[in-house]
Amino acid sequence: MIVSITGTPGTGKSSVSEILAEELGFKLLDVNEVAFSEEVGTSEGDERDTTEVDIDTLIPALEEEVGENSVLEGHLSHYFPSDLVVVLRTMPEELKKRLEEKGWSEEKVEENLESEVLDGILQEAVNQQEDVVEVDTTGKSPGETAKLVKKLVENKDKREEYRPGTVSWDLDKYLG
């Protein structure tokens, strides 16, 4: 089984994926690590200090690394054909604190908050994959979130409670 853990930066992907892979006995693959390897095409982004990743070269590079039972972690993981895509979400106030603690610029923090409020990663995932769920990590530890995600991996019926649209932020409050 291939499980992709995706979401806006700061939602807990790395921590949750590490715990989940260990609990399930799955291989853990950092998609960003593969994306910035020599096999994948990248180009410098605009003035926002970003790097554009060529998805068409990322997918074959990932295919070489992915095992039968794998957890793929990263905000591009939903582009890889997966049995389940879990989009981690975080309330914007908490996400802002997390990104500021990482030392991110105000501009990058605002850009990622906007992406979270507008469901950017969720929309991409839904357009790419069939089985997508979203999990709100607000106020949860990585261990608590990983435990919930493990239940979703092991129990397809439980996924219905977490289908896209179950997590929503007040657009007027955040984008006013």
Residue 87, Cβ density class (10 Å: 0-12 exposed, 13-18 middle, ≥19 buried): buried
d(CA 82, CA 80): 6
Give the pLDDT confidence score for residue 144 in this predicted structure.
Answer: 98
Sequence spans of domains, the chain: 2-174
d(CA 161, CA 59): 30
Taking only the tens place, the pLDDT of each residue in 16-74 is 999 999 999 999 999 988 877 765 654 555 554 556 777 788 888 888 889 899 999 99
DSSP H helical segments within the chain, as ranges?
A: 13-24, 31-35, 55-65, 92-101, 106-117, 120-128, 142-154, 171-175
pTM of the full predicted structure? 0.91
CB 28 within 8 A of CB 21: yes
Question: Strand, coil or helix: what is 2?
Answer: strand
Taking only the tens place, the pLDDT of each residue in 128-167 is 999 999 999 999 999 999 999 999 999 999 999 999 999 9
**Residue in 94, 96, 91, 126 with CA at minimum distance from that of residue 111:** 96
CB 11 within 8 A of CB 88: yes
Q: Which residues pair with 5 in a beta bridge?
A: 73, 86
Homologous superfamily of the 2-174 domain (CATH): P-loop containing nucleotide triphosphate hydrolases (3.40.50.300)
Give the pLDDT confidence score for residue 32 in this predicted structure.
Answer: 85
- The amino acid that residue 134 corresponds to is E
**Between 60 and 123, the higher pLDDT residue:** 123
Give the pLDDT confidence score for residue 107 in this predicted structure.
Answer: 92
